[in-house]
Amino acid sequence: MPVSLTAATITALGIDPGSNITGWGVVRERSGKLELLGCGALHVKGDTFSEKLASIYHGLHAVIAEYGPTEAGVEQVFSARNILSAIKLAQARGAAVAACASFDIPVLDYEPTQVKKTIVGVGRAEKEQVAFMVQRLLGGAPIDGPMDVTDAVAIALCHLTLRRFRRLEELQKGELKGGWKASR
């Protein structure tokens, strides 16, 4: 009996963290078909940076409670010219990961170039190219809002795509999670 590389249903949350805008996108893969369940931008509120981090945490907590993702992908912090900006971005990312952890959702990290290469085929693709491919992969589903939203949906799609490759590697090694063993 052949082993499927995709589980019956996986719902992935993609997060593009930011200290002013945090994009999110939830994509479901069911029997190899992709469906955009929801996406949006959290316009981070707060007078202090601590309040902004709480805004990210609570905003994503509400998204997770509503959509029930089973896994998540978060964009890694890239090397910034301004060290203070990089630190703030890392803290925003930490608030996002903490929101996922509060629901016991496994989180994987993706570099921006890895997301672009997975979605477009080129690691240095322009944002417009990523947006075009995201819409194609989702059958033209509208994605409204700033590019942070499109980036978050791309991260969710990247997560689902690379998940299939991870399952294939497990299959080739002879074991899939859940006790499956490949027949030889």
47 catalytic? Reply is: no
Report the alpha-carbon distance of residue 54 to residue 125 in Å, rounded: 33
Question: Which helix (H) or strand (E) covers residue 24, if one does?
Answer: strand 21-30
List 35, 66, 75, 104, catalytic entry: 75
For residues 50 and 142, what is the distance between their CA atoms, to the nearest angstrom? 33
Catalytic residue among 35, 148, 169, 170: 148
Residue 12: CB partners within 8 Å, gap ≥ 6?
Answer: 26, 27, 28, 29, 69, 70, 71, 72, 73, 156, 157, 159, 160, 163
Is position 175 annotated as part of the catalytic site? no
Contact status, residue 99 vs residue 122, Cβ threshold 8 Å: no
Residues 6+ apart with CB under 8 A from 152: 14, 15, 16, 23, 24, 25, 39
CA 152 to chain centre: 6
Q: Which residues are catalytic?
A: 16, 75, 148
